[in-house]
Chain A
Amino acid sequence: MADYKYVGKRLPRYDGMQHALAKTRYVNDLRYPDMLHMKVWRSPLISAKILNIDTSKAEVLPGVVAVVTHKQVPHNRYGAGDYPVLADEEIRYLGQEVVAVAAVDVDTAMEAVSLIQVDLEERTPLLDPFKAMEPDSIQLSPIGNFIKFDGNPYRQILKGDFESAIQEADFVVEGYYRTAAQEHCPIETQVSICQTDGMGRTHINTVTQAVFFNQGTIAAILKKPRSKVHMIGGVLGGGFGAKNDPHADHIAAVVSLYTGGRPVKWLWTREEEFVASTHRGAMHMFFKDGVMKDGRIIARSVRSIRDGGAYILTNDYVVAKHAFGVAGPYNIPNVKVISYGLLTNKRPTSSMRGFGLFQASFAFEVQMDRIAKTIGVDPWRLRFINAVHDGDTSATRAVLHNCALIEVMQAAAGRAGIRLDEELLHMASHSREEV
């Protein structure tokens, strides 16, 4: 075996000592001459119609350089095309941004925000994703509350014939699992420093996890080619999915169009992070499995409902990815998955460590334990019996290769000091014959 320089070696983090010396320059550590500070007027109501926005008093406050509403946003829609950069017609969630102010210091910016008058007509909010599914519920968007998948109100995965197969089962095991909304809470909050120069090129010191993705999004908002959007990124104090969608960058970039070339910084408070940044959405999962006496799961149906919050953002991706994986790494011949994403009057939900698969793993694994308990089979054995092997198909009918669930379980049991039956220790992913 050749002696490699890096492969198989334990290497220090290239930035380890830099972090320990506190030499890492995060966006909030950057200082620019002439830098302005930004604060935003956020809606105190959950759901409302915007009747009027009056920024006149804020505009004349000494020290205020720019006051920006939706009128000044070159193209005021992004995400799935439904999300305003600054709210124009309505408020769909508590804390939604309406007006941005750039001023010489934070105190002046905050005072200016307090002088802004936004007339809102309060509406009854829709907070329950199940209610959102009812036909007579409040409709949050022109195309209703259901997030669409190729025009359908759910993402569907079908394999075999669940309806017939469930009739043949010795046991029917049902389970309802739900995961709560979660906030990533990176220790570094959202922050951005934007400056548009004399050539109309906008420079953005960003904390985004998705530099090129956001470059495209912001270019479209600014109605400029990508070459006019310069992203300076790669250093952030934690993301975990909190910093995929634009939070501070896009609004600060718009504001920077109106500050006469001065850079503008927008640092979110921890409260803003909790109230108004993207979260992992709550998910409700209903399992109905047909199981044989010997432990084989012959039919699985999963109905999932995701609380998507007020705008689509990446919810369709989350729901789809969730649908692909929620039946689990098990060889089940008949699968029916129906996954919904519903709009509600909450902060739009988006990515967090796994895009819908973490919720799925929790649910399908607890369901396995429930099955084991119900039919009286050891929980390890149940998983070995149903584990995928090479050549099996997934729920999406993809043929699987290089499976390793069996080997991973054997290794895990070994390390945990659990003595598995010989039969299970002789199983292997590459063949259904005993090895």
Chain B
Amino acid sequence: MIKYPINFKLNGQLVSVEAPATINLLTLLRDYLNITSPKFGCEQGNCGACTVILDGEAVNSCLVLALTVNGRAVTTVEGLGTPEDPHPLQVAFTEHYGAQCGYCTPGMIMASKALLDKNPHPTREEVVEGIVGNICRCTGYNKIVESVLAAAEMAR
């Protein structure tokens, strides 16, 4: 089977991998690179559980053809914080109960990070707008919005 090289920056580190032209970035991250934070929820761009940051923008990794990330930069939750030094979003989601089952959480966090990187002091409206591409079936969203606003406060 024809495979093509992909060299890109993943969470700040250069990685090299080979993959066929048929696979998407979600599969590349999860199955080729053991990055399991982006989740499989629909593979149609409808649920947002696979959201990662590509060149500074939140994207549905299931809609990105893996080969197109050659030469670019991808960030996932694995690159955000550590247990010893969590990112403000991770602290906020914990303290404000932004996660219940946790399955939508990595996508929510990356979508929120992309939002806060562009707009460090969003209004509640803007937070809601920023996460409309991420579906949560557990929380009813209020706690997630509060978490993001709290993270923005923390970073002030």
Contact = CB atoms under 8 A, between A and B. Distances in A.
> Is A in direct contact with B (CB under 8 Å) within the complex?
yes
Contacts of B91: 17, 20
A238 B34 CA distance: 23
Interface string B90-107: 110111011111111110
Contacts of A240: 137
B102 A29 contact: no
B25 interface: no
Interface stretch (B2-10, B64-72, B81-89, B117-125): B81-89
Interface SS of B by simple majority: loop
A238 to B, nearest CB: 5
A21 B81 contact: yes
B41 A21 contact: no
A12 B46 CA distance: 30
Contacts of A238: 101, 103, 137-138
A24 B102 contact: yes
A424 B8 CA distance: 69
A20 B34 CA distance: 18
B59 interface: no
A20 B137 contact: no
Nearest to A19: B102
B90 A21 contact: yes
Contact of B93 (A20, A28, A187, A189): A20
A22 B93 CA distance: 12
Given A20-B89, A28-B39, A186 B99 contact: no
Contact of B97 (A16, A22, A187, A269): A16
B49 A187 contact: yes
Contact of A15 (B102, B106, B109): B102
B127 to A, nearest CB: 17
A184 interface: yes
Interface in A19-78: 19-26, 28-29, 31
B16 interface: no
A307 B97 CA distance: 37
A237 interface: yes
B139 to A, nearest CB: 10
A374 interface: no
Contacts of B97: 13, 16
Nearest to A242: B137
- Interface size on A, as a range, is 20 to 34
B74 interface: no
Contacts of B105: 19-20, 22
Interface residues of B, number: 41
Interface in B99-154: 99-106, 109, 135-138
Contacts of B90: 17, 20-21
Contact of B37 (A13, A15, A22, A270): A22
Given A20-B94, A20-B109, A270 B41 contact: yes
B55 interface: no
A182 to B, nearest CB: 12
A13 B100 CA distance: 8
A267 interface: yes
A267 B135 CA distance: 20
Given A187-B104, A187-B135, A237-B101, A16 B94 contact: yes
Q: Which of A16, A22, A186, A240 has the most CB of B within 10 A?
A: A22
Contacts of A187: 39, 41, 47, 49, 101, 103-104, 135-137
B57 interface: no
A26 B103 contact: yes
B13 interface: no
A16 B44 CA distance: 28
Interface string A220-244: 0000000000000000111010000
A102 to B, nearest CB: 18
B73 to A, nearest CB: 19
Contact of A29 (B36, B81, B89): B36
B102 to A, nearest CB: 3
Given A17-B90, A270-B44, 9 more contacts: A12-B94, A19-B105, A20-B77, A21-B82, A21-B83, A21-B86, A22-B77, A187-B135, A236-B101
Q: What 4 pairs between A and B have smallest CB-CB spacing?
A: A237-B103, A19-B102, A22-B37, A20-B90
